[in-house]
Amino acid sequence: MNVVTRFAPSPTGYIHIGNVRSAIYPYLLAHNKNGKMILRIEDTDRERYVEGATELIEDTLNWLGLEWDEGPIVGGPNAPYFQSERKEIYHEYARKLIESGRAYADPTPPEKINQYREECNKKKIPFLYRNYRPEKTPEWEPGIPLRFKADPKNYEWVDEVMGDMKTGPEVLDDIILIKKDGFPTYNFAHIVDDAEMGVTHVMRGVEYLSSTPNYLALYEALNLPRPIFVSLPHILAPTGNKKLGKRDGAKSVTEYRDDGVLPEAMLNYLANLGWNDGTEQEIYTKEDLIKKFSLDRIQNSGARYDETKLLWLNGQWIRKIFDEQGAEALYCKTAGFWPEVADNYDDNYKMEVLSIIYDRLKTLSDLREMTSYFFEEPKIDTDMLINNKFLKKSSESELKELLEKTVSKLSSLESWEKDSLQLALNELLEETSKKPAELFSLIRIALSYAPFSPALNLTLEVLGKEVSLARLNATARAI
């Protein structure tokens, strides 16, 4: 079978963590099966339409590396890919249903319908519109909604994630097909489009599971083949048991880009939240995911979103890229994450800084806080020296003397390179008979005045002889 999947968002805002998975899984399935994925914009609700939302969606997909085979921008044989431009197609299908007696124009005003609904609620019986079908229905024309005429019966189907499904006639109703504004409802439009576009796998959130029998009825009435149904469980908010949504402060996917999260890590995390290949592998490239993806290993219960693990994975990916693809590959991704003071420095220097600091980054934006002393003179803070747990037992004059010895030792060095620096530091330890904790803490703080920094010899090497000695001298003078 030629697999065709689709991601069909409505342009009502940004894509967030709670709903990207319905783009990721169709992408993985399509590529795993050598098929294709369609991007379709479901913009039939004019009131909820948000200007620019389509671009936001495309941007998110691009960032994650989820390119679509058909859809906006790239086009394709099933164009147009905006539902608002396919009105005629829906109306054509609607006429077929009218002709076969499976749809009727419903002139009942909404207030009346609400009244029926309330009556049922009062009596605590389920509200089914088909029990209130108007006796006389007019010709269908613009301004009148079109309803499906349900044929209540049992349905059975298979959901690839949820398993065998079975429902009775009580879940089937006369759903609205075309709204009074002439646009189709989701319920109708997606069925027509999926069939027209040859979609084989309908993958969407579990919230659509309950309406599937109504869709089944529609496929039947239109004489269309059923696609394969794949219900994706929800991603849960960090607290509570509700699905993660914008109300819980679900951040947009691309907000993480600005926070210094790598798309590789994001994809890795999200794909593994609710799916795994059964092995103990934790780090997956996109290619790994494509190769190993399978529907039968999608989890059927909701998964809680855990940002801590995302951040851990991001750290793993930062190191993986540096170790496997080199400093330059990682450096390319750091633009915009450096402190402002770094602007005056060239790429080579920044890459050197990155090379000694990268293994302590959780996100790229950590760069801002962690590297400033490589680009500007740190502010001398003698309290930080004096209160350091390794230094507070030494007197100020001792510290001053130690710094002077360090300066004289290091200034005599011919080669300012990490191995000779380490050698010199070791000799200094012997000569001063100090513990590493004391001597190294002193030097480290004098160089950076930062709460933490890379290995001493590496910091010295990158800072350079002139700057290093100047900073050590400055502190010696300040004490």
Partner RNA sequence: GGUCUCGUAGUAUAACGGUUAGUACAUCGGGUUUUCAUCCCGACAACGCGGGUUCGACUCCCGCCGAGAUCACCA
- 274-313: contacts with RNA (CB under 7 A): 274-276, 278, 280, 282, 297, 299-304, 306, 308-309, 312
Interface of this chain with RNA, residues 198 to 217, rule: CB under 7 A = 206-211
What residue type is assigned to position 164 of the chain? Answer: D
8 A C-beta contact, residue 191 and residue 215:
yes
Interface of this chain with RNA, residues 11 to 40, rule: CB under 7 A = none
Helices of type H across 84-149: 87-99, 110-123
Q: Which of 5, 22, 54, 185 binds RNA (CB under 7 A)?
A: 185
* 131 touching RNA, by CB under 7 A: no
Interface of this chain with RNA, residues 254 to 273, rule: CB under 7 A = 272-273
* 455 touching RNA, by CB under 7 A: yes
Give min distance, CB of 344 to RNA, in A.
25
CA distance 193 to 174: 20
Three-state DSSP class for residue 106: coil
8 A C-beta contact, residue 45 and residue 83:
no
Three-state DSSP class for residue 10: coil
Contact window for RNA (CB under 7 A) among 58-66, 106-114, 134-142, 284-292: 106-114
CA distance 41 to 9: 6
Q: Using DSSP bridges, classify how beta strands 155-159 and 163-167 pair: parallel, antiparallel or unpaired.
A: antiparallel
Contact window for RNA (CB under 7 A) among 31-39, 160-168, 191-199, 373-381: 160-168
CA distance 434 to 447: 19
Residue 231 half-sphere exposure toward CB, CA atoms < 13 A: 20
Nearer to RNA, 99 or 430 (CB): 430
CA distance 184 to 44: 7
Interface of this chain with RNA, residues 411 to 430, rule: CB under 7 A = 422, 425-426, 429
Number of chain positions touching RNA (CB under 7 A): 87
CA distance 404 to 395: 14
CA distance 366 to 351: 15
Tokens of 242: 């509700």
CA distance 245 to 61: 19
Nearer to RNA, 144 or 346 (CB): 144
Interface of this chain with RNA, residues 346 to 385, rule: CB under 7 A = 359-360
CA 305 to chain centre: 11
* 142 touching RNA, by CB under 7 A: no
**Which sequence positions are flagged as catalytic?**
246
* 316 touching RNA, by CB under 7 A: yes
Give min distance, CB of 35 to RNA, in A.
22
Q: Which of 5, 44, 60, 268 binds RNA (CB under 7 A)?
A: 44
CA distance 429 to 408: 14
Q: Which of 390, 405, 470, 473 binds RNA (CB under 7 A)?
A: 390
Nearer to RNA, 263 or 302 (CB): 302
Give min distance, CB of 100 to RNA, in A.
21
Binding mask 70-89 for RNA (x = CB under 7 A): --------------------
Element (H, E) at 165: strand 163-167
* 162 touching RNA, by CB under 7 A: yes
DSSP string, 459-474: HHHHH-HHHHHHHHHH
Q: Which of 18, 26, 263, 315 binds RNA (CB under 7 A)?
A: 315
Contact window for RNA (CB under 7 A) among 3-11, 30-38, 57-65, 406-414: 3-11
Give min distance, CB of 175 to RNA, in A.
7
